[in-house]
Structure 1
Amino acid sequence: MESRVVALSVPDAIKVTRNGEKIGFTNHDPNGMVDQIASPLRREVFNRSTSMMKSVFNDESDLEEGKLEKDTDKLIRGGKLVKIHNQAVLSGLAYCISSCSMILVNKFVLSSYDFDAGISLMVYQNLVSVVIVSFLSFWGIISTEPVRWRLIRSWLPVNFIFVGMLITSIFSLKYINVAMVTVLKNVTNVITALGEMYLFKKHHDRRVWAALFLMIISAICGGITDLSFHAVGYAWQIINCFLTASYSLTLRRVMDTAKQATKSGSLNEFSMVLLNNMLSLPLGILLIFAFNEVDYLINTPLLRMPTFWLVVTFSGLLGLAISFTSMWFLHQTGATTYSLVGSLNKIPLSITGILLFKVPTSFQNFTSIIFGLLAGVFFAKAKMLERTQSSTTAK
Structure 2
Amino acid sequence: MGSRNHAEDISKLTLKLHESTRVLDQTPSPGRRDLVSRSSFAMRSVENDEADLEGGKLEKEWDKSTHTNRIVKIHNQALLSGLAYCVSSCSMILVNKFVLSSYDFNAGISLMLYQNFISVVIVSIMSFMGIITTEPLTWRLIKVWLPVNAIFVGMLITSMFSLKYINVAMVTVLKNVTNVITALGEMYLFNKHHDNRVWAALFLMIISAISGGITDLSFHAVGYGWQIINCFLTAAYSLTLRRVMDTAKQVTRSGNLNEFSMVLLNNMLSLPLGILLVFVFREVDYLSQTPLLRLPDFWLVMTLSGFLGLAISFTSMWFLHQTGATTYSLVGSLNKIPLSIAGIVLFKVPTSLENSASIFFGLLAGVFFARAKMRERSQS
Query: What's the TM-score once normalised by structure 1's chain length?
Result: 0.84
Among residues 161, 165, 174, which one is paired with 1:184 in the alignment? 174
Instruction: Kindly provide the amino acid, as one letter, of the partner of residue 202 in structure 2.
Output: L
Instruction: Kindly provide the amino acid, as one letter, of the partner of residue 113 in structure 2.
Output: V
Aligned residue number for residue 80 of structure 2: 90
1:294 paired with 2:284, answer yes
Deviates more, 1:265-274 or 1:59-68: 59-68
TM alignment of 1:145-224, pairs within 5 A? 145-224=135-214
Q: Aligned equivalents of 1:215 and 1:24: distance in 2? A: 84
Structure 1 residues 107-126: Cα deviation after superposition (integer angstroms, max 9, x where no partner)? 00001110000000000000
> Shift of the alpha carbon at 1:27?
2.7
Distance 1:60 1:254, change over 3 A: closer
Among residues 103, 109, 119, which one is paired with 2:93 in the alignment? 103
Structure 1 residues 207-242: Cα deviation after superposition (integer angstroms, max 9, x where no partner)? 000000000000000000000000000000000000
Question: Aligned to 1:202, what secondary structure does the other structure show?
Answer: coil
Among residues 22, 27, 41, which one is paired with 2:21 in the alignment? 27
Distance 1:76 1:289, change over 3 A: same
Q: Aligned equivalents of 1:261 and 1:60: distance in 2? A: 56
Question: Aligned to 1:265, what secondary structure does the other structure show?
Answer: coil
> Shift of the alpha carbon at 1:72?
1.1
Identity %: 80
Question: Aligned to 2:335, what secondary structure does the other structure show?
Answer: helix
Misfit runs of 4+, over 6 Å: 23-26, 53-61
Structure 2: gaps of 5 or more residues: 1-16, 40-51
Aligned residue number for residue 257 of structure 1: 247
Distance 1:127 1:57, change over 3 A: closer
CA contact (8 A) 2:53 2:59 kept: no
Question: Aligned to 1:360, what secondary structure does the other structure show?
Answer: coil
Distance 1:361 1:29, change over 3 A: same
Q: Aligned equivalents of 2:134 and 2:142: distance in 1? A: 14
Structure 1 vs Structure 2 CA RMSD = 2.1
Distance 1:56 1:176, change over 3 A: closer
**Aligned residue pairs, count:** 347
1:134 paired with 2:137, answer no
Q: Aligned equivalents of 2:19 and 2:84: distance in 1? A: 58
Aligned residue number for residue 351 of structure 2: 361
> Shift of the alpha carbon at 1:63?
4.8
CA contact (8 A) 2:134 2:261 kept: yes
Q: Aligned equivalents of 1:58 and 1:163: distance in 2? A: 67
Aligned residue number for residue 13 of structure 1: none
Q: Aligned equivalents of 1:158 and 1:55: distance in 2? A: 65
Instruction: Kindly provide the amino acid, as one letter, of the partner of residue 63 in structure 2.
Output: D
> Shift of the alpha carbon at 1:321?
0.3
> Shift of the alpha carbon at 1:144?
0.3
> Shift of the alpha carbon at 1:81?
0.2
Aligned residue number for residue 378 of structure 1: 368
Q: Aligned equivalents of 2:152 and 2:96: distance in 1? A: 18
Structure 1 residues 302-332: Cα deviation after superposition (integer angstroms, max 9, x where no partner)? 1011110110000000000000000000000
> Shift of the alpha carbon at 1:29?
6.3
Structure 1: gaps of 5 or more residues: 1-22, 31-50, 391-395
Query: What's the TM-score once normalised by structure 2's chain length?
Result: 0.88
Q: Aligned equivalents of 2:123 and 2:32: distance in 1? A: 63
Distance 1:24 1:128, change over 3 A: farther
1:337 paired with 2:331, answer no
Structure 1 residues 118-167: Cα deviation after superposition (integer angstroms, max 9, x where no partner)? 00000000000000000000011000000011100000000000000000
TM alignment of 1:106-125, pairs within 5 A? 106-125=96-115
Q: Aligned equivalents of 1:370 and 1:71: distance in 2? A: 49
> Shift of the alpha carbon at 1:256?
1.2
Among residues 208, 226, 235, which one is paired with 1:236 in the alignment? 226
Among residues 256, 260, 269, which one is paired with 1:266 in the alignment? 256
Among residues 247, 257, 260, which one is paired with 2:237 in the alignment? 247
> Shift of the alpha carbon at 1:58?
9.6
Structure 1 residues 255-304: Cα deviation after superposition (integer angstroms, max 9, x where no partner)? 11111111111100000000000000000000000000001100101101
Distance 1:29 1:265, change over 3 A: closer
> Shift of the alpha carbon at 1:388?
0.4
Q: Aligned equivalents of 1:60 and 1:327: distance in 2? A: 45
CA contact (8 A) 2:81 2:319 kept: yes
Instruction: Kindly provide the amino acid, as one letter, of the partner of residue 311 in structure 2.
Output: A
CA contact (8 A) 2:110 2:283 kept: yes
Instruction: Kindly provide the amino acid, as one letter, of the partner of residue 314 in structure 1.
Output: L
Aligned residue number for residue 37 of structure 1: none
1:315 paired with 2:305, answer yes
Aligned residue number for residue 327 of structure 1: 317
Q: Aligned equivalents of 1:60 and 1:106: distance in 2? A: 64
> Shift of the alpha carbon at 1:56?
12
Structure 1 residues 179-223: Cα deviation after superposition (integer angstroms, max 9, x where no partner)? 000000000000000000000000000000000000000000000
